[in-house]
Structures are given as C-alpha cells and as structure tokens.
C-alpha cells in the first residue's frame, strides 16, 4: 500500500524547517476522469490540487481555502477548494486545451496558464475572509506558490510539485514537497545551503511519486543526512460536497423575478456542479415551490 494518497509533515534539523510531502496520484486521476482533461490541463490542475491540500493542511478545524489562478493563457484559469480534513476539489476553465511540449520537452503548463495572478481566499468563518494575491511568476504553479508563501505569508519556502501523465493521458504520478523555514532559521546559512543542495538534487518530483515509495520514504531520501522528525499524517482525497439542497439555495438567491421567468418558460432546468460535473434536475413544479417559499419568506 506504499502508493496510497496521503500527506506527511516533518520537522527538519533542530526544528529549523518544516516539510510537507504528499502523494496526490489518485486525487489527480479522479479529477482527470471527472473533467476529461487533456495532459497539459491535467498537469496544471493536479499541481494546483496538490497545493490546495498543502494549504488545507495548514488550516484550523472548519476553515476552508479557495485558490483562484487567473491567467490569460488558453487554460482560462484554475479554481481549487480544500478543507482541513484532506478533501479537495477543483476545475479548469478549458479542460480540452492542447499545446505542444515546451522547450525542455515537458508539458507546457506555464504557457497554458499564461500571465496573471494567484489568489488565495481563506474562509475562517468570519464575516470577511482572508485574501492574499500575488502576480504569477511563470504559471508553472510550484514557483508561483513559493512566491506566494514568501511574499504574502512572509514564510521563505521552496515548492516542488509535479504530475507525470502517461501517453494515454492518465496520471501515473502526482505529488509535492513544500519546505518552509521556521522563524529564526533564515540566519543559519549552513542549514539553508544544505536544504537548497538537497532540493536541487530532485530532478523530477512527479517521478518520485509515481513509484512505490511512501511520502515518508521520499522525505527520508530527499533530506538524507538531516535530522528529521515526522509529526503528522493525513489521508487526502478528491471530494465534492455539492448537494441538491445547496443548489436549491443557489436558485433561491437568484430572486423571485428570475425564478418566475423559469417557471413561466415551463421547462425543467438542469444545474451542473463545476467541481464534479454532477447534474441536478429541477422540475417546473419544484421551481414553482421554491418561488412560493420565496414569496412566503418576504411576507
């Protein structure tokens, strides 16, 4: 069972850095099946889902996080949402984007994303969510998040994230490694140099997660020779929490006028969830009932 999807956290050195490593192969496979994404769209979405789970693992109990990558490339943006329980969902604007490989023979994720901004919205159950925005560095996701952590959260970070897509378009491996310096560690030049050297030794992070090694074994291999202490492990999964009730509430928020128009048309409507493509049908009778309820709440 070495190749299950889960996330581990560890402390490195004398608690000078924390590392999170996670396999998301199954998560990315499910997203690929749900959305029918092309290889470059799968890689972009898989990397962002991986980062969603990393950010989710930093949340407290009921908090949620939403990532919006708004770029001017043909992918037309990425939206990912995650919670603290290891559940993530997401979609891309154009799942059918096709691009030639980039100059290094890899999937052209940066080109698909384009230039623009990375937005992170953290909902802590307060009136106003926390909102962090940084310009995209290259649209390859990893460096964009490293920049986000360093600038927006003032935490110097290295981010390695990758998705290996087979010739048939199915993800063979997906995962990430995020290393963050703890306060005070930025002055320990020898420790930082050692970290950088080990991270530079990782040529293809996606291949690491395509094998049988567990996230713990990957951390031990990458950071060999450094003191390390594993502190937490969490299962992760692609999971959508949409429901008929939620879409009913969404229809009610459209207001009486729009609902009245739908009822007058006399045709049932179909609502589709962006995140998981599940379809919900509402009959004219059901729409009329929602309209009546809306009328009653206003009385």
* Claim to verify: residue 172 and residue 260 sit in the same structural domain: no
Residue 172 lies in a domain: yes
pLDDT for res 1 = 43
Is residue 214 located within the same domain as residue 248? no
Same domain, 81 and 102: yes
1 domain-assigned: no
Supply the pLDDT for residue 140.
Answer: 97
Do 140 and 111 fall into the same domain?
yes
**Domain that residue 13 falls in:** 6-238
> Residue 209's domain is classified under what CATH number?
3.55.30.10
Residues of the chain scoring pLDDT < 50: 1, 298-299
Residues 155 and 96 in one domain: yes
Indicate the number of domains in the chain. 2
pLDDT at 2: 53
Q: Is residue 25 included in any domain, yes or no?
A: yes
Is the same domain home to 217 and 293?
A: no
* CA 269-271-273 angle, 5° bins: 175
pLDDT at 127: 80
Q: What is the token pair recorded at 33?
A: 């099946």
Q: Do 137 and 156 lie in a common domain?
A: yes
Last residue of a domain, one of 213, 238, 263: 238
What does the pLDDT read at residue 157? 96
One domain, residues 144 and 292: no
Supply the pLDDT for residue 246: 93
pLDDT at res. 26:
97
Same domain? For 85 and 168 the reply is yes
Q: Are residues 255 and 221 in the same domain?
A: no
Q: Is residue 107 part of a domain?
A: yes
User: Is 123 domain-assigned?
Assistant: yes
Same domain, 202 and 294: no
Specify whether 207 is located in the same domain as 284. no
> Which of 220, 238, 256 is the C-terminal boundary of a domain?
238
Q: How far apart are CA 98 and CA 197, in angstroms?
A: 35
Q: Which CATH number do you get for residue 287?
A: 3.90.1280.10
Which of 238, 265, 290 represents a domain boundary (last residue)? 238
């Amino acid at each position: 069972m070495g190749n299950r999807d889960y996330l581990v956290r560890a402390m490195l050195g004398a608690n000078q850095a924390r590392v999170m490593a996670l396999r998301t192969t199954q998560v990315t496979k499910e997203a690929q099946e749900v959305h029918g994404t092309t290889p470059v769209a799968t890689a972009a979405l898989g990397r962002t889902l991986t980062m969603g789970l990393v950010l989710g693992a930093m949340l407290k109990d009921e908090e949620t996080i939403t990532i919006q990558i708004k770029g001017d490339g043909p992918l037309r943006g990425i939206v990912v949402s995650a919670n603290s329980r290891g559940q993530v969902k997401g979609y891309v604007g154009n799942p059918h984007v096709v691009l030639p490989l980039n100059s290094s023979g890899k999937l052209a994720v940066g080109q698909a994303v384009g230039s623009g901004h990375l937005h992170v919205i953290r909902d802590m159950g307060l009136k106003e969510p926390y909102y962090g925005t940084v310009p995209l560095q290259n649209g390859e996701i990893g460096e964009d998040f490293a920049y986000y952590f360093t600038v927006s959260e003032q935490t110097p970070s290295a981010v390695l994230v990758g998705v290996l897509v087979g010739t048939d378009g199915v993800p063979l491996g997906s995962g990430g490694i995020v290393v963050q310096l703890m306060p005070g560690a930025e002055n320990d030049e020898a420790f930082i140099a050692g970290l950088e050297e080990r991270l530079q030794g990782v040529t293809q992070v996606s291949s690491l997660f395509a094998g049988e090694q567990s996230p713990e074994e990957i951390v031990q291999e990458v950071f060999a020779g450094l003191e390390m202490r594993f502190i937490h492990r969490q299962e992760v999964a692609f999971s959508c929490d949409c429901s008929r009730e939620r879409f009913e509430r969404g229809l009610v928020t459209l207001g009486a006028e729009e609902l009245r128009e739908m009822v007058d048309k006399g045709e049932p409507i179909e609502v589709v969830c962006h995140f998981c493509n599940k379809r919900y049908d509402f009959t004219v009778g059901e729409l009329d009932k929602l309209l009546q309820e809306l009328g009653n709440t206003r009385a």
